Amino acid sequence: MTDLSTPSQEQAQQASRNSVGPPLWLLAELTYRCPLHCAFCYNPVDYTGHRDELNTAQWIDVLQQARRLGAAQLGFSGGEPLMRDDLEELVAEAHRLGFYSNLITSGVGLTDARLGVLKANGLDHIQLSFQDSTQELNDFLSSTRTFDLKNRVARSIKAHGFPMVLNCVLHRYNLPHVDKIIDMALAMGAEYLELANTQYYGWAHANRAQLMPTAEQLREAEAVVERYRKEIGNRCKIFFVVPDYFETRPKRCMNGWGSVFLGVAPDGAALPCHAARSLPGLTFPNVKDTPLEHIWFDSDAFNRFRGFEWMKEPCRSCEEKTKDLGGCRCQAYLLTQDAANADPVCDKSAHHEQVVRVVREAANRSAAPAPNEQPVTFRNDANSRRLTAAARDAAATPHNEGTRS
Amino acid sequence: MNTPTNDANAQGADRRGPKLSSLFRLQWEPAQDAHVLLYPEGMVKLNQSAAQILLRCDGTRDLPTLIAELEQTFNAKGLAPQVEAFVDHARSRGWLE
């Protein structure tokens, strides 16, 4: 192999401070407001407690600071970022600064007129979410009637010449439709299809029993994906990642805490991972009063799980720790109540049995449940307030993850 | 086996030369001290050789011209095998049209 055949792997050092590299990925969560109510939304379940959004000037300041630090990829996300009427202005600024900008949207509110302005202002790419290949399930899971609208929006996105990623979150209801979902992406001309198996944080954790697939469903879906990959070649790149619960080693979450990813929540809280808000005992610095450079390099929140010093056993002495960095902090907390524990997806974790049990319970449920067989907790304001209050009560009394019904 | 028509097309494509796919953007990033390829939700950091080749993949040069230009610029000889291997790699990654 020649030095020309592969991209350089060496780490950039010159922008680093104490061997910490620059943030490369800025996720700007412009708002938690959203017209959809998806049962697997990754916004925090207590989002109703964080209503105070950054204004346009504050966001522009965040973009400028992040770009100076070295961020090159920028995601405009939410909630639904189109709920902000300054999105076009922020896109123009991002383009001026040299970001590669991605709009991550449900498509609701993406009119032809807005698409035209976004294109003219330099938006690079649009990721459009679908919930399923069928109207029935799409509309049920999002608790809206949006399937036809999304189809129209997909056509407009391509008509304006944007590269398009179609994103579909997978779970036990729609895994049997993976072939139809791929057909839909191909028919729409999507360059990428992200088949994102549900990760069980936030709202998805609240709906874990309903959403968890069976191992057999996953195997079948993976085989379908493999078959399509062979057939379609480079026409559409399909991503399919097996969900954590079905593995015995955790994933290297966010490529490492405070390693490349910097998220800014609607109210200005800076997060090393968009689910990190659920972790107790961490104070997330806010861009309203703290410079990004200080947040990234010096804050306690961003340094807490960098490196290996924070690790407990079995991670601390594990030879695989450099590979997976102990896995996901949010998952460790959700399942073991201690964010510094090993991600219990790892079968070396003393808590791994919890993951095994959840998968076993999923296997024992009927393979093709009706969507209405048991109540799903949709993401909405009323449920957010109810879950927030329940979590507050639970925090006041000792409890056990295993008792959640 | 190619038909004569396909051969003519292939020659036409060769004359146009390799061209970066419109899905990718190539730019210099001071913080990484490197050129990078940016694409939907992703980024590849390029080493210097890769960047120098891709910078010239704008469709205006055929491969022999591109190689000759690199050899002249960097005062080197016999770059063809390396450049061809990289261009194949870039095609397989979908970086080139």
Asked whether residue A350 carries a pLDDT value surpassing 80, the answer given is yes
pLDDT at residue A296 tops 60: yes
8 Å CB contact between A403 and A355:
no
Q: pLDDT tens digits, residue range A379-398? A: 999 999 998 898 888 777 65
So what's the pLDDT on residue A235? 87
* pLDDT value at A162 more than 80: yes
Mean of pLDDT values over A230-254:
89
Q: What is the pLDDT of residue A8?
A: 41
Mean predicted lDDT score pLDDT of chain A: 88
Name the residue in chain A with its Cα closest to that of B40: A125
Residue A141 has pLDDT above 90, yes or no: no
A304 pLDDT more than 70: yes
Q: pLDDT band at A6, cuts 50/70/90?
A: very low
Predicted pLDDT of residue B11: 44
Q: A50 vs chain B: nearest CA distance in angstroms?
A: 26
pLDDT band at A18 (very low <50, low <70, confident <90, very high): low
Q: What pLDDT was estimated at residue A401?
A: 46
Quote the pTM value: 0.87
Q: Which of A389, A300, A307, A289 is nearest to A58 (CA)?
A: A289
Choose from A8, A102, A192 for mutation: most chain B CBs within 10 A.
A8
**pLDDT score of A293 more than 80:** yes
pLDDT at A50: 87
The encoded tokens of residue A324 equal 């997976």
Of B38, B49, B94, the CB nearest to A73: B38
CA A190 vs CA A127, A179, A227, A229: distances in Å: 9, 15, 18, 14
Average pLDDT for A295-324: 94
Interface predicted TM-score (ipTM) of this complex, two decimals: 0.81
- Cβ within 8 Å, pair B86-A2: yes
Task: Using an 8 Å CB-CB cutoff, list residues of chain B that contact chain A.
Answer: 22-23, 25, 27, 29-34, 36-50, 53, 81-83, 85-86, 89, 94
Q: For testing the chain A interface, which of B45, B63, B83, B92 should be mutated: the one with the most A CBs within 10 Å?
A: B45
Contacts of A67 in chain B (CB under 8 A): none
Closest CA to A205 of A404, A367, A357: A404
Which chain B residues are Cβ-neighbours of A296 within 8 angstroms?
A: none
Upper half-sphere CA count for residue A311 (Cβ side, 13 Å): 23
Q: Which residues of B touch A15 (CB under 8 A)?
A: 30-33
pLDDT-derived band at A111 (thresholds 50, 70, 90) equals very high
How far apart are the CA of A340 and the nearest CA of chain B, in angstroms?
29
Percent of chain A with pLDDT over 90: 66
* Per-residue model confidence (pLDDT) at position A392: 82
**What torsion, rounded to 10 degrees, do the Cα atoms A94, A270, A49, A57 define?**
-40
Is residue A2 less than 8 Å (CB to CB) from chain B?
yes
A326 three-class SS: coil
Q: Cβ–Cβ of B32/A192 closer than 8 Å? A: no
